[in-house]
Amino acid sequence: MANIQRFRAFHPVAAEAAAQKFGNQLWYLCEQLIGLAVFDEGLPEQERERLVHAIQNKVGHEKPTKRLLMPFDELVKATIPDLASTNTQKVFKILGIETSFFSVPVDAWTENGDYIRGKRIVDGLKVVNDHAERAVKIVQDYNRSVTTREEDFQSLLLGVSAHRRTLQDFKKRTLAKKYSL
């Protein structure tokens, strides 16, 4: 994000487009999910302590959003603890993770039973991009039903891509109008 910020001086239009696209991928930085970072042993102990302090003390939004709503310029300067609040506690409740280890120094967490159970739960979470995975599955299923040869599949994809460029949109009425006799 800092590189995108610096790039604005050279090419503001491209940097803004990159910032917008990058910002769309930051859904996991919302107030609730940021709490999972307490289990990131790569995060320095001091940051983890600040994160716990924010989770316990920083009052969050009355109606927290599912997506981080912070201007890109502010986000560049933010740290993980800056994004946490009392709303972050919800993720632990939802996952059934006891947070008694918050009262123990970070360097002793790895020997705390609640921390160990919580880390096991968090490590077991699967990250899923439903839209992308559905699209891949559809293409794979279609590929298996049409052809078994990779060369034929690539030719099919090129044909579909060329055909899509000839249409203004992909609505039934547009197709019906274009192909009606």
Residue in 95, 72, 52, 71 with CA at minimum distance from that of residue 7: 72
| Phi, psi dihedral angles at 154 (to 5 degrees) | -65, -40
The segments of the chain whose pLDDT lies below 70 read 27-28, 65-67, 128-132, 143, 181
pLDDT on residue 26: 73
pLDDT at 130: 64
pLDDT value of residue 51: 95
Same domain, 101 and 167: no
* pLDDT at residue 131, rounded to an integer: 65
Same domain, 89 and 35: yes
Cβ 77 vs Cβ 43: under 8 Å: no
Q: How much is the pLDDT for 163?
A: 79
Give the C-alpha separation, 143 to 6, whole Å. 43
Q: Are residues 114 and 151 in the same domain?
A: no
Cβ 102 vs Cβ 52: under 8 Å = yes
Token pair in block for residue 168: 């203004």
Pick from 82, 98, 123: which residue ends a domain?
123
Kindly report whether the global pTM for this prediction surpasses the value 0.75. no
Predicted local confidence at residue 67, as pLDDT: 67
Residue 30 in tokens = 């919302």
Q: What is the pLDDT of residue 48?
A: 95
Q: Where are the beta strands (DSSP E) in 74-178?
A: none
8, 53: one domain: yes
- Asked if residue 159 and residue 111 are part of one domain, the reply reads no
Could you tell me if 113 and 171 lie in one domain? no
Range of the domain at 104: 2-123
SS3 149: coil
84 with 167, same domain: the answer is no
